[in-house]
Chain A
């Protein structure tokens, strides 16, 4: 990390270059097709999710296999408060904090009884928790219709501020801004904020305490770290990030149903964190970007290849993607357990061991 982080003007020039690239990206993508802007937006949502989960898994070392439940909580909070379902249409800057808060509450609720558990037990309980949330979403349509069950909730409001709607296309300063492009900038801003929060968090007292808990909980407690509260905090903070991402997902999609919050999604987010490098923010972002673009890349490569070779689709790209995920999880753990971009601490540990 410290090698490429050159000092002074070089560093700022690099930052500026990245900023310009990120700012121009949607227009470049729009040339290929608006779909690609949408795909990028979903990739950013996955980055948000992966960064949130990274707090729990990467920083505090608690494997959470039900993380998508918090995404669901955020999404449903938004959907219920801003759709014709209950006739409520609150503005997004009120709902997103509420969603984050409720998700954090759920996080603490899940964390409280499970904190005593060892890592692998915790993983299974969180998985069960994720399934419970999904079962409730599927069934809370009777006798009082709260979630609409499997039909989901439709016609969810888009983000809008003072008549400036994120869903409508608009021409600003001679440039055509489509809905997805506007959302892109919003998501980008949120993502940068989340990255900043994560970076600051990692080097804070709290971040270092989490690291200590992850490495050796007994020792951490002996050093005076309040392990229970800090683990709860990790759960709640990770969950709140998921809640915010969920709210944005609901607004962008305008429709949500329990189908979007299945176990596979939780596992996908875990895969992103593990593949990229648990605990390393840049690694996690890389993992999220790689894995969220994989299905699209496969769709563009595997489908034509199969059509050319066999004249039809033998294997759906979705299945190939999942097989690759599974394989990647196994291979990464076997050959590169710290991920593609290992965190500095883990790298140091590994070199110290070999020395």
Chain B
């Protein structure tokens, strides 16, 4: 079930001498967080328009990573330039995911648009089970390792390392976010989307084809999800059919943190969540190492001779997203930037 390869965040920090842990974790968190942000956009756009938590969005991301894996794996020995291989992989993943996103909306959500809220949520769970097991059938249960084709160069800034892959991921994610913002705030489709989000009936009366706007939202969200899947796969180098559920949950937490339904909120929430998670994983071990507290160290046998007694290690990394989610929902249900109130309608 645990889709995120634990500790992978450290891969880029390990082995380098004199690393500034704080800065390093911020860089790692920023990278993971920008991917979360792109996934979170898919949740938040759909939620903003039809108030549905698209539970299956995480699986769309997973399928994106899987399709890219297949293509990259097939083309890796072909001698094409690595960048072209990854681009072709993404180019194949995006249409597949868009198709899935459209089919999902058309078959599982549209007929239930006026049903009680729990009904589409349950179909969403159904869709996510179906996608996950179809992926299992196609790509097997195994953890798939992406071929390491992109030569990773490391740059040092202020005592921390940043790799070319991380830089590329940051650049792509921020470009996608800027592109989406331009689409939503500068184009006719974006205007129609915002109008539908505010009031679907009135938007319909103004001549907006609501069905098309909603379908477009799903298509855009799925395309973003596909790219996020490719980035995630190439960053961590791994993909598995179960990776979607926990990634989806984290992205959803990010969307809630920023204020669900709010597009800049999802971006902010994703980046923040990534950083919180990386810092949490980086420091929880030290903070809960009872031997670092003199009062306790004297009483614990394991501490003798510089030993450690760590209550919670970085293997609890996945817990942070949920804790953030619960804290936000309890203390500020509207999120950091949201105006909507998360109370029952």
Report which A residues bind B (CB closer than 8 A): 61, 63, 65, 113-114, 116-121, 123-125, 127-129, 131-132, 134-136, 138-139, 142-143, 217, 262-264, 267, 270, 274, 315, 319, 322-323, 325-330, 333-334, 337
Does any Cβ of A come within 8 Å of B171's Cβ? no
Looking at the assembled complex, report how far the CB atom of B151 sits from the nearest CB atom of chain A, in whole angstroms: 35
CB <8 Å contact, A217 and B108:
no
Q: Answer whether A334 and B129 are a contact pair too, CB < 8 Å, given A117-B333, A124-B252, A135-B319.
A: no
CB-CB < 8 A to B311: which residues of A? 143
A326-B127 CB under 8 A given contacts A118-B344, A124-B53: yes
Minimum distance in angstroms from A249 CB to a CB of chain B:
19
CA distance A63 to B256 in the complex (A): 18
Cβ of B249 within 8 Å of any chain A Cβ, yes or no, is yes
5 pairs of A and B residues whose beta carbons are closest in the complex: A329-B126, A326-B129, A326-B130, A128-B322, A330-B126
Q: Could you tell me if A263 and B1 are in contact, using CB atoms closer than 8 angstroms?
A: yes
CA distance A264 to B313 in the complex (A): 26
Binding site of A, secondary structure by majority: helix, strand, loop or mixed? helix
Additional A-B contact list (9), CB under 8 Å, known A117-B333, A143-B302, A217-B344: A125-B326, A125-B329, A128-B322, A131-B322, A267-B125, A319-B133, A325-B129, A326-B126, A330-B130
Q: Which residues of the other chain, B, contact A333 by a CB distance below 8 angstroms?
A: 112, 115, 119-120, 122-123, 126
Which B residues are within 8 Å of any A CB, using their own CB?
Answer: 1-2, 52-53, 107-108, 111-112, 115-123, 125-130, 132-134, 136-137, 245-246, 249, 252-253, 256, 302, 309-313, 315-316, 318-319, 321-323, 325-326, 329-330, 333, 342-345
- Establish whether residues B133 and A323, one from each chain, have CB atoms under 8 Å apart when the complex forms: yes
User: Is B123 a contact of A334 with CB atoms below 8 Å?
Assistant: yes
Other-chain residue from B1, B52, B121, B326 in contact with A63 (beta carbon distance below 8 A): B121
Hey, which chain B residues are within 8 Å of A63, CB to CB?
Answer: 118, 121-122
Contact in complex: B249, A127 (CB < 8 Å): yes
For A118, the chain B residues whose CB sits under 8 A away are 117, 342-345
A291 to chain B, nearest CB (A): 13
CB of A59, distance to nearest CB on chain B (Å) = 14
Which residues of chain A have C-beta atoms less than 8 A from B120's C-beta?
A: 333
Tell me if A117 and B129 are in contact (CB < 8 A).
Answer: no
Tell me whether A139 and B133 are in contact (CB under 8 A).
no
Residues on B with C-beta less than 8 A from A132 are 319, 322-323
- B325→A323 contact, CB < 8 A: no
Q: Which of B309, B313, B319, B345 has the most CB of A within 10 A?
A: B319
| In the complex, residue of chain B having the shortest beta-carbon distance to the beta carbon of A325 | B129
**Do the beta carbons of B325 and A274 come within 8 Å of each other?**
no
* Structural contact, B316 and A135, CB atoms closer than 8 A: yes
Q: Which residues of B contact A143 (CB under 8 A)?
A: 302, 309-311
A70 → chain B, closest Cβ, in Å? 17
Give CA–CA (A347, B316) in the complex, Å. 46
| Chain B positions within 8 Å of A319 at CB level | 133, 136-137
Q: Which B residues are in CB contact (< 8 Å) with A325? A: 126, 129
List of A residues within 8 angstroms of B126 by Cβ: 325-330, 333
Measured between beta carbons, the chain A residues less than 8 angstroms from B326 are 113-114, 125, 128-129
Instruction: Choose from B53, B256, B330 the contact partner of A113 (Cβ within 8 Å).
Output: B330
Complex CA–CA separation, A61 to B344 (angstroms): 13
- The listed residue (B133, B325, B330) touching A326 by CB distance below 8 A is B133
Cβ–Cβ contact A139 & B333, under 8 A:
no
Chain A residues with CB under 8 A of B321: 128
Tell me the bound Cα distance from A337 to B343 in angstroms. Answer: 25
Closest Cβ of chain B to A18, distance in Å, is 31
